[in-house]
Amino acid sequence: MTDEPDYAAELELVKGLAVEAAELAMKRSRTVTPVEKANHSYVTDLDNDLEKLIRSRLGDAFPDDRLTGEEYAPGGGDGPRRWSIDPIDGTGNLVHGLPLWAVSIGLIEAGVPVLGVIAVPPLGELYWAVKGHGAWRDGERLAVRDADAFHIQDNVCLGTNAMRRIDPRTVPGRLRDLGSACCEQIFVAAGRLQACVFLGEHAHDVAAGVVISSEAGCAFGTLEEPRLDTSAVVARTPIATPTFVAAPRRLDALLKTARLYPAAKLT
C-alpha cells in the first residue's frame, strides 16, 4: 500500500483537453490576430481563448486548485495544487506561420511538478508524463540516450536569451533556437535535440516540460550548480541564470565547456 497520489484521472482529463485545444488551435492558426505586449512579444486572440477554455475545464473539474497561466491573473481555489498553463508556447512562430508551437498544461503540487501534458498541434503529437511513471509520446515511452561527449552533428538548442549570455563558441554540436521552450524540452526527451539551454522562461514555459524531460531521463543544471531538481527549476522562474537540460553525462560534458561571455556575470 502506498500514500503516493494517483493522478490517473487528472492525466486523462488533461490529455483530452490538450487534444481538444490542439484541434481548435489548428482550425484557427491561420487567422489569428496578433497584438504586441509590453515586453514586445505577441499575444493573439487564440492564446486568450485557449487559456480561457483550459482554465474553465480545469476549474470545473478541480475547484480547489489554483489556476495560473501566461495571459491572465491567477484564479481558482487556494489548495496546495497549482495548474500552470501556456495556451500557445511559441506564439511568435504561430504568428509568422512557422509550424512549431505547443499547448502546455502542467500540475504543481506543494511546489513539486508532478504532471505535464504538451501537445504540438502542427506535428499532431501529444507528450505526457506523471512523476515516477515515465514520459510518453503518443503511447511510445521516451528515454534519452546518454553519452560522455557531443558529436559535431548533435543538435543543441541555445535560446535567444541564453545566447546573449553564453558564448556559443563554447557549446558543442549544431546550435538551434526553436522559439518554443516547450518544444525544446520535449524534443530533448525524444532525442531530436541532445540538450537545450534556458534563460528568462516563466513557470508556464517549463512546468509541464520539466516533468516530461525528467521522466525521460534528463537532468538540469547551471554553471554554478551542476544539478537542480524539477522543483528548483520551476521555483526559480523567471529563469535568471542559464539553465541546461540534457541526459546526465551529456549535461556534465556541456557544463565543462560552456562559458559566459567575459563581461557577463551569473545572477
Where in the chain is CATH 3.30.540.10? Answer: 8-142
Burial of residue 120, with CB atoms counted within 10 A of its CB: 0-12 exposed, 13-18 middle, 19 or more buried: buried
- Type of residue numbered 50: L
d(CA 91, CA 99): 10
- Identify the bridge partners of residue 85 per DSSP, sorted by sequence position: 69, 105
Rounded Cα distance between 218 and 224, Å, is: 18
C-alpha cell at 58: 480545469
pLDDT at 266: 47
Q: pLDDT tens digits for 197-253?
A: 999 999 999 999 999 999 999 999 999 999 999 999 999 999 999 999 999 999 999
Q: Which of 124 and 2 is assigned the larger pLDDT? A: 124
* Angle at alpha carbon of residue 64, lines to 60 and 66, rounded to 5°: 90
Distance CA 255, CA 244 (A): 8
Burial of 35 (0-12, 13-18, 19+ CB in 10 A): exposed
Positions of CATH 3.40.190.80 in the chain = 155-257
d(CA 234, CA 208): 10
**Residue closest to 248 by CA, chosen among 204, 213, 224:** 213
CATH topology of domain 155-257: D-Maltodextrin-Binding Protein; domain 2 (3.40.190)
Amino acid 6: pLDDT: 86
> pTM here?
0.95
Write the CATH number of the domain with boundaries 8-142. Answer: 3.30.540.10
Q: Which three cell numbers stand for residue 199?
A: 534563460
Neighbours of 204 (CB within 10 A): 25
Hey, what's the cell of 75? Answer: 484564479
163-186 pLDDT, tens digit per residue, is 999 999 999 999 999 999 999 999
